[in-house]
A and B are shown apart, each in its own frame.
Chain A
Amino acid sequence: AQSVTQPDIHITVSEGASLELRCNYSYGATPYLFWYVQSPGQGLQLLLKYFSGDTLVQGIKGFEAEFKRSQSSFNLRKPSVHWSDAAEYFCAVARYSSASKIIFGSGTRLSIRP
């Protein structure tokens, strides 16, 4: 069965520091992978997606993610965080296509230290 693991429940980084949020997935074939961000009281916004091609994916707001098949990972990175990046981040996997049902990880809450 498909699953997504985000091992870090809460991360705090200083403004301007680099960020890496971890995500591991379990799926037999090449999955469709996503990162979503959710600000307090808001819906989810798609940051980026991967399903084929270049394993380094660029997204919105300066985020990128790298698909590593050998490690079953899809970690999210940003070279320099801003206070506005404080939010909940969800990694997700879909089975059949970019638009089909997705399974979310449990989320990582990001706090920014001034």
Chain B
Amino acid sequence: DAMVIQNPRYQVTQFGKPVTLSCSQTLNHNVMYWYQQKSSQAPKLLFHYYDKDFNNEADTPDNFQSRRPNTSFCFLDIRSPGLGDAAMYLCATSRLGQGIYSNQPQHFGDGTRLSIL
């Protein structure tokens, strides 16, 4: 089945130690999103890629970066994780464009739960 896969499901890192979360998709969607979700809260959009174009949300801290080396993969890099960055990180994809198969709603992965020691 076509899907969005996030690895790992659980990640533990030390305070200040860089960490990378990964997301891959087999949907051939041209847009990939990264969300941060803290306990009992709605997902908060950090940034998204529309093809190779990176779009950062205004309130996303500089500590968060992203890379999209190709259509299928997208990475979230946290340069110096703080205790406040402990959260679930969700990757989502969608297809924006023209044609009957475009404009598909966002399809989410199962997330990576990040803990900071």
A and B together in one complex: yes
What is A's interface to B at a CB cutoff of 8 Å?
34, 36, 41-46, 49, 90, 97-102, 104-107, 109
For A98, what are the chain B residues with a Cβ–Cβ distance below 8 Å? 94, 103-105
For B111, what are the chain A residues with a Cβ–Cβ distance below 8 Å? 41-43
Which of the four size classes fits the interface of chain B?
20 to 34
Does B49 count as interface, using CB distance less than 8 angstroms?
A: no
CB pair A43–B110 under 8 Å, yes or no, is yes
For this complex, 29 residue pairs linking A to B, each with C-beta atoms less than 8 Å apart, are: A36-B108, A41-B110, A41-B111, A41-B113, A43-B4, A43-B6, A43-B109, A43-B110, A43-B111, A44-B92, A45-B108, A46-B105, A97-B96, A97-B103, A98-B94, A98-B104, A98-B105, A99-B31, A99-B95, A99-B102, A100-B96, A101-B33, A101-B48, A104-B42, A106-B41, A107-B40, A107-B41, A107-B42, A109-B40
Most chain A beta carbons < 10 A, residue from B40, B45, B105, B107: B105
User: Which chain A residue has the least Cβ–Cβ distance from B96?
Assistant: A99
CB pair A105–B96 under 8 Å, yes or no, is no
Interface string of B5-28 (1 = CB under 8 A from A): 010000000000000000000000
A99 to B13, CA, bound (A): 33
Which of A34, A97, A106 is B42 in contact with, Cβ under 8 Å?
A: A106
A78 to B32, CA, bound (A): 31
Query: Min CB distance, A23 to chain B, in Å?
Result: 12
For B42, what are the chain A residues with a Cβ–Cβ distance below 8 Å? 90, 104-107
Which of B48, B92, B105 is A49 in contact with, Cβ under 8 Å?
A: B105
User: Which chain A residue has the least Cβ–Cβ distance from B88?
Assistant: A41
